[in-house]
Amino acid sequence: MPRMPRLPRWLRGIVILEYCLKRRVEIGILYSRSGNYRLVSDACRAGALSAIADVNADRESPIEFVAVERDPEGNADRYATGCAEILRESSARHVIGCVTSLSRKEVIPVLEKAGGTLWYACPYEGFETNDHVVYMHSCPNQQLVPLFGYVVPRFGPNGFLLGSNYIWGWETNRVARDLIADAGGEVRGERYLPLGESDVSRLIEEIRATRPDFVLNNLIGPSSYAFLAAYAALGTEDSHFLPQRCPVISCNLTECELPAIGAAGQGHLSAGPYFHDAGKPVSTRTHASSFEASAYASVRILADILSRNPETGWADLPVAFSDRKFRTPFGETEINPQTQHATLPVVIGQIEGTGFRQISRQEAVAPDPYLSHYDRSVVFGRPRLKAVP
């Protein structure tokens, strides 16, 4: 309970009663505190815990969240176990958690069996909907497609595709191959590294030899940091690989990983729903990255819904989302009742100093997880006709 100001005794009793009348609601937190993607996981966890503190301090909120945490320690096999423990050993029916798509897919059977809901606060590769998952970060039409639409006309259509050897890398690069073909370009190379691998010398030599127009980086954690450092060194040897000529582009790189990248990231591009203005301090009204903002939004939307109906479970969410707008760090946010994906801004940022400079922004882009509304002529323009002799 926050420190009580000095009030008349009779008034203090009323205020204390007000706090006591809050309904305690257990909520699951499932983020790793160690492992290859610890920086991202820590950002998500910080956003979720910040939102829980704000809900609990809000005298107008009728609920008080109690966090029930499990730490999978970066081990994909422990996410299902941790999720099952939360749902079995507490009254929590909603879990904020998971970073990788592999961990998300591991917990879905547990959620389906136990009747729980995962609020997923990270970008993902699309082509999935599940009644037990609320997708609170971007899907391909909110990151990869607009990123290519920005990069191709400015740098060229020929790309080199990198990825960590798991679902995010495979599936994002699969879509990227189709986009490059639609843009009239070619894939100059496609390579994968095991999670945690930092030997990137072969990747650098292949990129040097094939001379793409851009590099799509779907590497995770230490693999990404090592690659960006080696790519910066390549740029000092060959000006073709400087960011103003051949940028590294990403859909999952945010401010929370910039300290691990350092100067090697300067000038490269990333897409997402939110970038913190590097010129302003992080405060209670701002968030340090889109991961933090998304996890924060997940908790605040859940609090809004449970304040209206404390018994809301996974089957009730489509009705709870229908014709509603929620206040979030992204602005007023809608969640599609059919797909349970959020409408989000699309922002392209360029690394500058210790943050990102916003270079392109679209407001309120509706989710299209299966790219069913994708139109190559809208993204890349109509193909030019070739004269046949």
Q: What is the pLDDT of residues 7-47, one digit of tens each?
A: 565 555 444 444 458 899 999 999 999 998 999 999 999 99
pTM of the model: 0.91
Nearest-angstrom CA–CA distance, 297 and 291: 10
- pLDDT for residue 281: 65
* Buried/exposed code over 164-175 (b: 16+ C-beta within 10 A; e: otherwise): bbbbbbbbbbeb
Banded pLDDT at 300 (limits 50, 70, 90): very high
**Which residues, listed in sequence order, are joined to residue 349 by a DSSP beta bridge?**
270, 358
Cα 201 to Cα 71: distance, rounded to the nearest angstrom: 33
Answer yes or no: are the C-beta atoms of 131 and 187 closer than 8 Å: no
DSSP annotation of 151: H
Quickly tell me which residue has 């690659």 as its tokens: 227
Please give the pLDDT value at position 95.
Answer: 98
Scan for tokens 């799509």, then name that residue: 216
C-alpha count within 13 angstroms, C-beta hemisphere, residue 85: 12
Q: Would you state the structure tokens that stand for residue 90, as one six-digit string?
A: 């507490």
Using an 8 Å Cβ cutoff, are 187 and 163 in contact? no
Question: Cα 193 vs. chain centroid, distance in angstroms?
Answer: 21
Distance, CA of 155 to chain centre:
26
